[in-house]
Amino acid sequence: MRTLLRGGQILDGAGAPAYRGDVRLNGDKIEAVGALSPLPDEQVIDVSGCVVCPAFVDMHRHMDAHPLLGDDMAVELRQGIATTAVGNCGFSLAPYGGAFAAEKRENDAPILGRYPESFRFQFPEYLNALESSASGLNLTALIGLGAVRISLTGFSDAPLSSSALNAARGMLQDALDAGAAGISAGIMYLPEYYTARDEYRAMLAPLRGTGKPLVTHIRGEGDGLVASVREVIEIAREAECPLEISHFKSCGKQNWRKEIFRAIDEIEAARAHGQDVTVDFYPYTGGSTALTTMLPPAFVKGDMAAALKALGTREGVDEFRALSRLRYDGWDNYALTLGWERIIVSGVCREHNRKFCGLTVTDAAQKFGFDDAEALAAYLMYDEAGQTSIINLSMHPDDVDAVARLPYASVISDALYADSDTPHPRKFGAMPRLWTDFVRARHVLAPEEAIRKMTRMPAERLGLKGRGTLAAGGFADVLAFEPDAFRDCATYSSPTRPAQGVRALYINGQARILSDALTGAPSGRLIRP
């Protein structure tokens, strides 16, 4: 059956200015776009007064397990999202299993959320499971280098042996052959932090010639930003692969309004020499991650389980406190560059710790009688086996705006799926926030450019053929929203309020939202670029 979305303002995703027109859907494809007359027996949906555009592509959500857990995807659908990529920052659900499975599952919890111990997949099996999940969204997946390394050597800081490197390369090759959209890295995170340059060169060999990207969380986004950007540019150059720098930003008050421009210079120099380098960002000044990212590598010493256990002792807390007050080469210490007063506890796994959620580490320590912020942080990491999530208020608005204006910067949410009543609001509102704040309120971006950053740009980076642009023959992932009513409602104080203002959302030609109400059966697909 055909459907005609009639009378909207078309923003095609390719960056063209808006024009009044119609979009005809036929099955799972777009049949025509332009000035169209209704056909007999065609369903006509009046979208006059609405922006009509490709449904959004969020290339960075950490919802790896949620399609397998029966999530209805309402949070994503109400933002106009039709397609998302999982497996970012080196955190992919697969590979999962073997001797270090328990450590991986605990390490994943603040990012991916808690998932059943039975989810033991190699990456091709994981893709097959996603394909069978009847997901509410289109999904594509990256394989994470962190997950690969943990599966082989846990959190060891020792160099990878030749047999481990061969095994890692084999896992990555199998994943790409099975349909992974690329490889992700999380160089800031343990154990990837320990990975040497020659190890990256060896492991990333399967990317060469595929056109698939390395999508990476860089080593440092604070004092080490410029050096970290230079590092991943060089890694990607040696691997001969496209590079996507994830959630590109500058953290730490002393770095605001200067270091981001030095980092941009590094990227633009690489681009000028023909290297395929792009970035993405989320439209907030606060980030979110695991509390264990505050553990200095000098404290962990390649054994995360032992480090967490030590935090339950007075001696361990004293050592953590002392090391947290030092500066390091090659590792950003946010306890110094931000301060515990700008770090909010956002997710815990044990009920008796929920009282800390929504408070800064400093305020929570004072309120509940801990000696200092380090003592509370140590208690949480010990008591929760490292499964605590945080929000860090780390960025300056001017720096975020500078990244937003880059013609090669696309938009992501970087949504975390930890079990939390106080998540980062980007999980519930990143896409409409770009429209509400960056387009309508402050005019940082033109409407057509904002839509391009949420549609065609990420679709092209992920190799998603036929998606991200309103054009005849493309897949019928189409969004209509009311420009004055489409908005994010989630805030840091009320972070779980759903977005509003979607008039219609179609995924593969099936209506998922009509008049701001969820409707229809899941129609998402697994996409293997």
Please give the pLDDT value at position 329.
86
Angstrom distances, CA of residue 288 to CA of 285, 344, 395: 10, 9, 12
pLDDT averaged over every residue in the chain: 96
**What are the residues facing 387 on neighbouring strands?**
none
Give the CA radius of gyration of the chain: 22
Give the DSSP letter of residue 271: H
Sorting pLDDT into bands at 50, 70 and 90, what band is 372? very high
- DSSP for 90-138, written as a single string: T--S-S--STTHHHHHHHHHHHH----TT----HHHHHHHHHTS--SSE
User: pLDDT tens digits for 390-438?
Assistant: 999 999 999 999 999 999 999 999 999 998 888 999 999 999 999 999 9
Q: What is the mean pLDDT of residues 21-35?
A: 98
Q: Does 254 have pLDDT greater than 90? A: yes
Q: pTM of the predicted model, to two decimals? A: 0.95
* Strand-pair category, 2-10 with 51-54: parallel
User: pLDDT tens digits for 283-311?
Assistant: 999 999 999 999 999 999 999 999 999 99
* Strand-pair category, 143-144 with 183-186: parallel
Q: Which two tokens stand for residue 243?
A: 């590079």
Residue indicated by tokens 């040497």: 196
- Is the Cα dihedral 158, 163, 165, 167 positive or negative? negative
Q: What is the mean pLDDT of residues 236-243?
A: 97
Contacts for 368 with CB less than 8 Å, ≥ 6 apart: 355, 356, 376
**Cβ-contact 155, 304 below 8 angstroms:** yes
Counting beta carbons within 10 angstroms of the beta carbon of residue 178, is it exposed (0 to 12), middle (13 to 18) or buried (19 or more)?
middle
Among candidate residues 55, 59, 76, the one with its CA nearest the CA of residue 67: 76
